[in-house]
A = this chain, B = another copy of it.
Amino acid sequence: MLDVIVDLINKSETIAILPHVSADGDALGSSLALAIVLSGSGKKVKVLLEEEIPQVYSDLPGREFSCLYRKNDEQYNKKYDLALALDCGDAARLASRIELFNTATRNANLDHHTTNTEFAVNNYVDTSSAATGEIIYDLIVRMGAKPDKDVALCLYVAITTDTGGFRYSNTTADTHRIAAELVSEGIDVAKVSRRVFDRVSYGKVKLIGAAINSLELFEEGKIALMSLSSELMKKLETKDEDSDGIINIARNISGVEVAALLKQLDSGEVKVNLRSNSYVDVSAIAASYSGGGHERAAGFTTTATLEQTKNELLADLVGEV
């Protein structure tokens, strides 16, 4: 099937590359890498984005091939010979670019998500790939090209971000084999890793501090609870995404089996994140509050107060550890 994609590329002169909306490291790295290679082989290529490139990826090579897509702006609405959706699980992730995708002479969908809906005329979905970056690496090699230093950097960023730095369960022997080829092109691994993984906003750091201040352990340290009031979050001027991942601080404490983060929303409702490490099924607890999730990660939202929620939840958790 990858040969079909190579064939589509060979037949096309103008190519639009469309990473998913809210493009992450994998979507952007894959798109820019492919743009560099296609441009190098004489194609007219554009990476069309819904948003500006996030600051963390703003110095990636190939960004000169990218631009913000504006649906109502004439200049973007030309008919491409080929439109490639990258790292998009479904058509909705193309957002305002869906018409452009459907109007192109040919289109294809290159992705690794198990949930991919195969929405294109040509679909190449390899769910064994940890990142779309791995697929693009294979595609580039199949095209007879060898990734140069710039392409290698883009693909390395794609792969390292989607595998949490080679730490998630999607990391395979092939992931490392491809990383070896990319690193051999001369990537400053330490610099890239620091930029991608270590940078943090002041707001997030203050929120981490506040969450730790609220941290309480129960049942000989097997239960860890943290809570954030809306008043506090307003005071710290935190953004919504600042609380992403904060639950893991509690979950990672030695001896903790189950962790909960209670976050009071502006509406007064309380949003609860639950995580467990080994044996507590937090999805069952979440379900009893009309929430959902998986055995080790679940959540729910309630109209009860922060204090009520905490007391009731704690009573439930004590019965589980």
Contact = CB atoms under 8 A, between A and B. Distances in A.
Nearest to A186: B173
Interface stretch (A10-18, A66-74, A163-171): A163-171
A2 interface: no
A165 B165 contact: yes
A116 to B, nearest CB: 22
Contact of A173 (B173, B183, B197, B252): B183
Q: Summarize A's interface: helix, strand, loop or mixed.
A: helix
A268 interface: no
Interface stretch (A96-104, A201-209, A307-315): A201-209
A265 interface: no
A293 B185 CA distance: 31
Nearest to A179: B176
A253 interface: yes
Interface string A133-168: 000000000000000000000000000000011111
Given A176-B176, A199-B252, A193 B217 contact: no
B213 A209 contact: yes
Given A202-B217, A221-B202, A176 B183 contact: yes
Contacts of A255: 202
A166 B166 contact: yes
A166 to B, nearest CB: 5
A38 to B, nearest CB: 26
A224 to B, nearest CB: 9
B201 A254 contact: yes
Contacts of A188: 169
A212 interface: yes
A174 interface: yes
Nearest to A212: B209
A198 interface: yes
A155 to B, nearest CB: 13
Contact of A167 (B175, B184, B189, B199): B189
Contacts of A193: 164, 166-168
5 contacts: A167-B190, A167-B197, A174-B180, A209-B209, A213-B213
Q: Which 6 A-B pairs have the closest CB atoms?
A: A209-B212, A176-B180, A167-B193, A173-B184, A169-B190, A176-B179
